[in-house]
Amino acid sequence: MKFFRKGICLFLTVIMALSLAGCGKKELSHEKMNVLVDEFDFEEYDDVEDFIIHLSRFTSFENGYISAEEDDAQELYDIAINRMHQYPSYNIDQATLFFVGEGEMVFGYLLTFEKDKKAEKFYDYYTEDDFEDGKTGEKDGYSYAIDIGEESSSKIALDGAYLQGNKVLILRGLVKDTDFIDDLFKELDLISPTEADQEDK
């Protein structure tokens, strides 16, 4: 009986240790992204075409987002992200896209690729030329590239790319107020694009 109890205690200790180790890892997640943008009172879109129409003129609309899988996710990538074929063609398993309107211009998307290598290639392609003056690195199990710049319109240009496994998160924006961006990335446990001009500690 003692041996049995010790075995159970050891098993529970191992499970707890593994759980605590898992808690420390920051994971890019569609589920978490959906919860966050919903908490920020973003309007949820169910129809891909309707979302794309509103996205094309989002500065005059309320904030919105859509999350889709399989064929709908692929359509979002092909039309909303890669309409001009600036990126290679990839098979997308899941996609979450969001925009901030009402005078601001922020567009972000989280993509799940079919393979880690495809996600890495997209990330490398996206960050190849655009982050020479920004900051790149690795932190808490993900790679990042972030940049910030002042625009003549008194708005701040932000750019961020994040890679973890088969997922890539991209955010681009032109904003007067960076509070939403900082709040979002704090909740996501990711380094914010606004930190690109800060010295590494």
Tell which wins on pLDDT, 58 or 182. Answer: 182
pLDDT surpassing 60 at residue 190: yes
Residue with tokens 């075995």: 7
pLDDT surpassing 50 at residue 18: no
Reported as type and span, the H/E element at residue 154 is none
Alpha-carbon gap, residue 116 to 53, rounded angstroms:
31
Query: How high is the pLDDT of residue 17?
Result: 35
pLDDT surpassing 80 at residue 129: no
Tell which wins on pLDDT, 42 or 76. Answer: 76
Query: How high is the pLDDT of residue 9?
Result: 40
Query: How high is the pLDDT of residue 14?
Result: 32
Confidence (pTM): 0.83
List pLDDT tens digits, range 131-166: 877 899 999 999 999 999 876 668 889 999 999 999
Whether residue 51 contacts residue 66, with contact meaning beta carbons closer than 8 Å, is answered with yes
Query: How high is the pLDDT of residue 105?
Result: 83
11 by DSSP, 3-state: which?
helix
